[in-house]
Amino acid sequence: MKKTKRYRKRNLLTSPGTLTYIGPDIAVKTKIRRIQYSDKIFRDEPAHSLSDCAPADQTEPVTTWLDVDGIHEISLIEKLGKLYELHPLLLEDVVNTEHKPKLEVYDAGYLFLTLKMLHVQSESPIEISCEHVSFVLGDNYVISFQEELTEDIFKPVLERLQASVGKTRKNGPDYLLFALLDVVVDNYFIVLEKLGDSLDRAEDQVIAGAHDLSLKDLYALKRELSIARRQIWPLRDMLNQLIREDNAQINKEIIPYYRDLYDHVMQVLDTIDSYRELVASLADVHLSTLSNRMNSVMKTLTIFSAVFMPLTFIVGVYGMNFENMPELKWHYGYFYVWGLMAVVTIGMIFYFKSKKWM
């Protein structure tokens, strides 16, 4: 896939706030799931109508997680937006699959995060695809939006909730958001591992001096690393902002978990940087291998020319047809010439040895 094609036509020159989905065409219907839980309660039901999507009553102490799988049905997203009283510009960002990761705190009392899930689309040559994922964190709910591209990525969280493993059930929507983000970041490590494998293969080839290693592979790897970096980098600031600022939505006890997440993102970025350096130095080593080979080709050529040119000249001399060429009549002339040529050849070889060309 051409990288430049990643960017597709936005709803240009229309009134701002008009929702337009620009991702790939998808035939499947949006799947929505409403999970409600507290320490004791756990309800998980697919939403068939809009009323199934409504947040829990403020009086009931449960956390609602609305897991929206598919963002191509604009009208549905708009209705959900109205139901939860979300700002139209927020919805525009939810469906704009080209939008950069960002965090926005709305005065109305909810947080909005959008970021990219990375998937390894093909392993050799390695190719990464991005999935647009967004979260809204309200007082007692979390809404997660994801493109209907792969299976539900939040399955591990759902299973932990169901099994009541870990601290998720005991905490509110802020911890749930953390758990969901943690899944996304953990996924980065999986992508990193695949990139690392790809890098290892390239390194093996470079060290083996494989002369058919295409630099294109290295450049492709570099490009994928650069894309991954660009998509993950903003997370650093977003999480930092969440940690530093006082957000009504995030409890103070939950902050250390976000700080931990921040450390993981830093580790991912650090690894990407070290991979980038490695790719650069592999390319350098590969180029220097190529240039060494060129040198050795040139030297072989020079040695051949330098040895055979004088010899060919000598035999040419005695191929001349002058009537008066004394050497031609010598009885051992022919053998003297062979001797002369042996001397010339040995001299050349010594000369090249002294120059360290052989």
Q: Which of residues 264-283 bind its own copies (CB under 8 A)?
A: 266-267, 270-271, 274-275, 277-278, 281
d(CA 358, CA 355): 8
Q: How far is the CB of 13 from its own copies (least distance, A)?
A: 5
Q: How far is the CB of 172 from its own copies (least distance, A)?
A: 15
Q: Which stretch binds its own copies (CB under 8 A): 37-45, 115-123, 241-249, 284-292?
A: 284-292
Q: How far is the CB of 58 from its own copies (least distance, A)?
A: 26
Q: How far is the CB of 1 from its own copies (least distance, A)?
A: 11
Please say which residue, 52 or 270, places its beta carbon nearer to its own copies.
270
Please say which residue, 69 or 93, places its beta carbon nearer to its own copies.
93
Total residues in contact with its own copies, by rule CB under 8 A = 115
The four Cα atoms 223, 189, 114, 178 give a dihedral, to 10 degrees, of -170
Q: Which two tokens stand for residue 77?
A: 């997203």
Report the greatest alpha carbon distance in the chain: 125
Q: How far is the CB of 309 from its own copies (least distance, A)?
A: 4
Q: Which helix (H) or strand (E) holds 114?
A: strand 110-123
Q: Which two tokens stand for residue 344?
A: 């010339």
Residues 124-163 that bind its own copies (CB under 8 A): 156, 160
Q: Which two tokens stand for residue 155?
A: 């399955």
Please say which residue, 83 or 255, places its beta carbon nearer to its own copies.
255
Query: Which one among 45, 52, 200, 245 touches its own copies, defined by CB under 8 A?
Result: 200
Q: Is 241 in the site for its own copies (CB under 8 A)?
A: no
Q: Is 298 in the site for its own copies (CB under 8 A)?
A: yes
SS3 113: strand
Pair 130, 187: CB distance under 8 Å? no
Please say which residue, 50 or 89, places its beta carbon nearer to its own copies.
89
Pair 157, 149: CB distance under 8 Å? no
Beta bridge partners of residue 43, listed in sequence order: 36
d(CA 280, CA 144): 38
d(CA 130, CA 116): 6
Q: Is 199 in the site for its own copies (CB under 8 A)?
A: yes
Q: What is the residue whose two structure tokens read 């240009």?
A: 12
Q: Is 339 in the site for its own copies (CB under 8 A)?
A: no
Taken in order 240, 223, 12, 115, is the CA torsion positive or negative? negative
Q: Is 291 in the site for its own copies (CB under 8 A)?
A: yes
Q: Is 333 in the site for its own copies (CB under 8 A)?
A: yes
Query: Which one among 44, 127, 139, 203 touches its own copies, defined by CB under 8 A?
Result: 203
Q: Is 294 in the site for its own copies (CB under 8 A)?
A: yes
SS3 85: coil
Q: How far is the CB of 45 from its own copies (least distance, A)?
A: 24
Q: Is 236 in the site for its own copies (CB under 8 A)?
A: no
Query: Which one among 183, 243, 344, 349 touches its own copies, defined by CB under 8 A?
Result: 183
Strands 110-123 and 141-146: unpaired
Q: Which two tokens stand for residue 346?
A: 């040995």
Residues 5-64 that bind its own copies (CB under 8 A): 5, 7, 9-10, 12-18
User: Contact letters (x/-) for its own copies, 311-330, by CB under 8 A?
Assistant: xxx-xxxxxxxxxxx-xxxx
Pair 34, 53: CB distance under 8 Å? yes
Sheet holding 42-46, edge to edge: 42-46, 31-37, 63-69, 141-146, 126-137, 110-123, 102-106
Q: How far is the CB of 69 from its own copies (least distance, A)?
A: 18
Residues 83-102 that bind its own copies (CB under 8 A): 87, 89, 92-93, 98-100, 102
Closest listed residue to residue 126, CA positions, set 218, 3, 23, 229 = 218
Q: Is 244 in the site for its own copies (CB under 8 A)?
A: no
